[in-house]
Structure 1
Amino acid sequence: MNLEHTYASSFPELATPAVPEIPAATTVLWINEDLAAELELDATWLAGADGLRWLTGGDEKTTALAYSGHQFGHLSPVLGDGRAHLIGELPTSEKRVDIHLKGSGITPYSRPGSDGKAPLSAVWREAVIGEALHALGVPTSRALAVLETGETVRRRSPLPEPAGILVRVADSHLRVGTFQYAHMNVGSDQRIELAGYALSRHYPQVNPGDNPALILLRLVAEHQAHLVAQWMGLGFVHGVLNTDNVSISGQAIDFGPCAFIDGFSDEAVFSSIDRGGRYAYRNQPGITQWNLARFAESLLDLIDPEQPDRAVHLATDLLEHFEETYEDARTRVFAAKLGIAVEGAAGAPYERLVAFIDRTLDMLDEHTLDFTGFFRALTDTPDHLVELLPNSETLKSWLADLATLRQDTGTAPGRAEELMQGANPVYIPRNLHLEAALRAVESGDTAPILRLLGAVRQPFTRHSGLEDLETAPARSRFFTSFCGT
C-alpha cells in the first residue's frame, strides 16, 4: 500500500526530510475502523505488525512541514512541524489525504529543549474531539490510530505519564502559515504553483482562471466562514486560532486547548495561555477574518504583481464579504437548532430570525444556561424548558415568539422537529467527563475514553446507560484546558 509524496516532491523548500522516532515498544491501542473503511484500508491489517510499520512511516520518505504563523497576533517567521511528521499522501477513490504523525520525535523545526513527544492523554483527546466534530457534521481532521510508545513524558505535573503518537488524517496540512512562510522564503513562480496545487487538491471543481491566488483566497474565506459558523452553533471554542492552525482545506485542525461550552458565556475561553481572551467564543469569527487578512497579505504580489494597489483593493473587497458569508451561515446553523426553516424566512421574517438568534444567546448568557442541554431540551421536551428558569416571563415570552416565528416562516411541526433532531446533539465531549477519562488513560484504563468515544460518535441518538454523559458535572465552569499534542 504505497503512499505518494506530491507535495514534498513539488515543494522541497516547504517539506524537510525528517525521520520519526518510533520506539521499539510502540503498540497500536486503537484503530478508527470507520475511517479506515472510508480510506479503503483493512483495519485488522493496520492493527498488526505490518500495519504499524506502515502507519509510522516504514520505508517512506517522511518529512517535517515548514510554515510560519501569527501566534496571539505576533509573527513567528519559522514554526514548522516540531513534533510531527508527514508520512505521505494516500490517494483514494474519493480524494487524496495526508497521513501524518504527532508526537513522533524531534525535527529540524523543534523548539530548543523539546523532546518531540506527546502525552498519550493528549493523543486520545485529539482523537475524541476529531471524531465528535466529524459526527456533528463539521469538516475536520481525524485520528486513524492511537499508538502507545512505551515511553513516558512530563507535561501537566512533575509525575511522568505515558507517551503516545497520533496518526492523523487530513485533506492536507496546507495552512495559512504555509503561505506566509512561502511568501518569505520561496520565489513567486513556485508560490503560484503552490496556489494552483492547493486549488487542484481541495477545490478541483473550480476553474482557477488567470488569477489562482485570488480564487484561492475567496474559496478559503468562504470555507472558513462556514466552518466557524458551525463551531459557534455547537458552542465549540478552538482555543488557538493562530494562522498556523487555519487550514486551506477548510477543515478544523489541531485540537490542543479546545473545549465545548457547558454553561453558556459569550466570552468563554478555556486555554490556560489565552489570558486576554483573544480566542474566546465570541471572537472566533473576527479573528478568523483577521487571519484571512494575513493570508491575503501573503498573496498580494501574486494577485497583481504589476499593480500593488489593485491587489490590495481586490483582496480587501473579497474579505469584506467574509462577514456577510459568515452571518448567513450562522443564521442557517441556528435556525436549524431553533426548528425554523430558513428558506421560508425571506425579507422581514429573516431579519426577525437574526434578532431572535441574538436574543436567544443573550438569554443563555444572562442565565448561564447549558448550551447543548438547552437546545436538546427544546428538541425533546420544549415544555420542560420552563424548569430551567422557573417563573421566568422571559422564557415564556421567548417560547411564544419562537412559535410565532415558526408560523410566519411556514415551518410545520414535523419540519421543525426534523431540523432540530439533526442539529442539537445529545452528546458532546463534556469537558470534565473527557478530562476524567483522560486521567484514567494515564493509569492504563481505556474503558472510560472508549465509552465516551462511542457516545460522541453517535451524538444525536440517546443510548440507555449513558445518561451521565448528557449533562455537565457541577464544577464544569472551572474547567481550564492545556496544550497537549
Structure 2
Amino acid sequence: MNLEHIYTSTFPELALPAEPEVPAATTGHWINKDLAVELGLDAAWLASADGLRWLTGADEMTVALAYSGHQFGHLSPILGDGRAHLLGEVTTSEKRVDIHLKGSGLTPFSRPGSDGKAPLSAVWREAVIGEALHALGVPTSRALAVLQTGETVRRRSPLPEPAGILVRVADSHLRVGTFQYAHMNMGSDQRIELAGYALSRHYPQVNPGDNPALTLLQLVAERQAQLVAQWMGLGFVHGVLNTDNVSISGQAIDFGPCAFIDGFSHEAVYSSIDRGGRYAYRNQPGITQWNLARFAESLLDLIDSADPNRAVHLATDVLAHFEEIYQDARTRIFAAKLGVTVEDAAGASSERLVAFIDRTLDLLNEYTLDFTGFFRMLTDAPDQLVELLPASEVMEDWLADLAALRQDTGTAPDRAEGLMQTANPVYIPRNLHLEAALRAAEGGDTVPILRLLDAVRQPFTRRPDLEDLETAPARSRFFTSFCGT
C-alpha cells in the first residue's frame, strides 16, 4: 500500500525532514494482524523483508512533527518528535490514519543527550495498553507492529535492556501542542487552514459554519470530555496529560507511564516523574479542561480577531460546557457499571444516582478495594461483596440502596445484568502481570505477553485458562511505571 503525505506537504513548517535510524538487525517482534486487516494490509507481507522496509519507512519521505507543550504546567515552546518519525498516511474505507514510528532515532527535535531510542518493554507496554483500551471501546492509537532493533538502551537501571520501535497508527498526530506551536510560529491564514484541515479530517460530518476555530474548540472539548469520562470509568490513569499528549481527534495517545488502578485510590499515580500527583486519577478531568483552556488560548485571535473580549467570552462558554458533557458521560458510564438505567432517571433520581456513584468511589477508596474486581463481582456474584469489608453491614447497606435505586429508575434485573456485563471487564492489563510479561519479552520469551494480549482483547469474556489474570498480585499498589524516554 502506498503512503500519502498530505499533512507534510500542506504544512511543511510543522513537519521537518528526518530519517529513522533502523539497524540492519531489526526484526518484527509482533504484527497486529487484526489492525492490519482493518487497514487493508496483508499481515503476512508485513512480516516479510519487504513489509519490514514499509513499516520502517525505508522508501518514504519521513518527517518529525513540530509541536509545543505545557509539560507539568510549564510551557516548552519547542518540543516536537524527539524520538519519532511520521511515515505517512493510509486511507481506509472509513478514514485517513497516520503511520508513525516511536523509538526510531534522533530528529531535529531531540534533546541534548538523547539517543532517540526506546526500550522494548516501553514499546510493548504501549502496544498492550492500546489494544486493551480499543477492546474496551475507548478511542485510542494502536500498535501495528512491535519491532526489536538488536540494540540496547539504559533507562530503568544502569543495566542495558533491549531496544524496540513501535509502529503506531493514529487518526492523526495533531495535538493541542500542534496548535500552540502554530500560534507562536505561523500566520493567521496558515492557522485557519490548519483548523480547517483538522475539522475536515476528524469531523467531516460537521459544518464548520462561519467560525471554524470556535467549532473546532467545541468539538475537541466534547470528545476530550467523553474520553476522560471513559478513562475514569475504567480506573485508567494516563500518566502524563501534558498538552502535547492531548489529541485533536479525541483519541488516547502517548500513554507511556500509564496504568489501570488495582487497589482503588482517588489519588492514584503511577508515573515515576509525577511526584506531585498532578495527573492523578482524581485530577484527570480538571487537567483535561485546563489543557483545553491552553488550546483555546491558541485559537482566540482566530475565534474573533476584531474583539479579543468576545473571543474570550465565546471560548469560556465552551470550556464551561466541558464540565456538563463530562459529568453526563461519567454518570452514564458508571450507571451502566452499577446496572442502573439513566433513560428513565430524572430529577431527584438523577441526583441520587450521581451521589451514589460518588459514594461508591469513596467506599472503594476507603477500603482500597480492587476497582475492576469490585465491579465484576457486582456483575457476577454480588452476594460475595459483603465478604470484602471487615464490617459486612456497610456493604449490605450499599447493596440495599443500589437495589432501591434500580427500582426507582425502572431497571429490571435482566436489564441491570446486561448493562454490567458489557461495562465491567474481567480482564485488564493488571500492572504486575504486565510487568512480568514485559520482563519475559525482554529475555526473548513472548508467550506471557501474547497470552495477556489475548485476554485483554476479549475483556468481557471469562476463560478458565486465564483465571490468574483476573486479579491483582500482592503488592500491586506499590507499582510504578516509567515513560521509557
| Residues 9-63 of structure 1: per-residue CA shift (max 9 Å, x gap) | 0000000011111110111111101111111111111110111111110211110
- d(CA) in 2 for partners of 1:210, 1:24: 52
- d(CA) in 1 for partners of 2:102, 2:261: 26
Q: Which runs of 5+ in 1 are unaligned?
A: none
Normalising by structure 1, what TM-score?
A: 0.99
Q: CA deviation at 1:129?
A: 0.3
| Residues 152-207 of structure 1: per-residue CA shift (max 9 Å, x gap) | 11111111111110000000000000000000001100000000000000000000
Residue in structure 2 matched with residue 111 of structure 1 by the alignment: 111
The equivalences for 1:328-477 within 5 A come to 328-477=328-477
Residue in structure 1 matched with residue 157 of structure 2 by the alignment: 157
- d(CA) in 2 for partners of 1:390, 1:35: 46
Residue in structure 2 matched with residue 49 of structure 1 by the alignment: 49
- d(CA) in 1 for partners of 2:441, 2:157: 15
- d(CA) in 1 for partners of 2:443, 2:30: 17
Residue in structure 1 matched with residue 38 of structure 2 by the alignment: 38
SS in 2 for 1:253: coil
SS in 1 for 2:143: strand
- d(CA) in 2 for partners of 1:146, 1:414: 42
| Letter in structure 2 aligned against 1:395 | M
SS in 2 for 1:35: helix
Residue in structure 2 matched with residue 168 of structure 1 by the alignment: 168
SS in 2 for 1:369: coil
Q: CA deviation at 1:465?
A: 1.5
| Letter in structure 1 aligned against 2:91 | P
Aligned-pair identity (%): 86
- d(CA) in 2 for partners of 1:176, 1:327: 22
- d(CA) in 2 for partners of 1:394, 1:343: 29
| Letter in structure 1 aligned against 2:369 | L
- d(CA) in 1 for partners of 2:147, 2:59: 19
| Letter in structure 2 aligned against 1:302 | L
| Residues 105-130 of structure 1: per-residue CA shift (max 9 Å, x gap) | 00000000111011111100000000
SS in 2 for 1:342: coil
Q: Which runs of 5+ in 2 are unaligned?
A: none
Q: CA deviation at 1:484?
A: 1.4
| Letter in structure 1 aligned against 2:426 | V
SS in 2 for 1:89: strand
2:25 is aligned with 1:25: yes
Residue in structure 2 matched with residue 76 of structure 1 by the alignment: 76
Q: CA deviation at 1:392?
A: 2.1
SS in 2 for 1:465: helix
| Residues 211-255 of structure 1: per-residue CA shift (max 9 Å, x gap) | 100000000000000000000000000010000000000000012
| Letter in structure 2 aligned against 1:103 | G
- d(CA) in 2 for partners of 1:397, 1:430: 30
Residue in structure 1 matched with residue 266 of structure 2 by the alignment: 266
2:146 is aligned with 1:146: yes
Q: CA deviation at 1:442?
A: 1.5
- d(CA) in 2 for partners of 1:195, 1:361: 39
- d(CA) in 2 for partners of 1:378, 1:75: 44
Residue in structure 2 matched with residue 192 of structure 1 by the alignment: 192
- d(CA) in 1 for partners of 2:354, 2:90: 42
Q: CA deviation at 1:390?
A: 4.5
- d(CA) in 1 for partners of 2:174, 2:482: 24
Residue in structure 1 matched with residue 209 of structure 2 by the alignment: 209
Q: CA deviation at 1:339?
A: 0.4
| Letter in structure 2 aligned against 1:89 | E
- d(CA) in 2 for partners of 1:43, 1:250: 27
| Letter in structure 1 aligned against 2:114 | S
Aligned length: 485
Q: CA deviation at 1:318?
A: 1.1
- d(CA) in 1 for partners of 2:264, 2:117: 34
- d(CA) in 2 for partners of 1:229, 1:137: 12
SS in 1 for 2:426: coil
| Letter in structure 2 aligned against 1:304 | D
Q: CA deviation at 1:391?
A: 3.7
| Letter in structure 1 aligned against 2:301 | D
| Residues 364-400 of structure 1: per-residue CA shift (max 9 Å, x gap) | 0011100000000000001111111144221101100
- d(CA) in 2 for partners of 1:272, 1:83: 20
| Letter in structure 2 aligned against 1:180 | Q
SS in 1 for 2:197: helix
| Letter in structure 2 aligned against 1:327 | Q
| Letter in structure 1 aligned against 2:69 | G
The equivalences for 1:274-353 within 5 A come to 274-353=274-353
Residue in structure 1 matched with residue 252 of structure 2 by the alignment: 252
Q: CA deviation at 1:210?
A: 1.1
SS in 2 for 1:320: helix
Q: CA deviation at 1:426?
A: 0.4
- d(CA) in 2 for partners of 1:440, 1:91: 36
Q: CA deviation at 1:5?
A: 0.7
Residue in structure 2 matched with residue 478 of structure 1 by the alignment: 478
SS in 2 for 1:75: strand
CA RMSD of aligned residues (A): 0.7
Normalising by structure 2, what TM-score?
A: 0.99
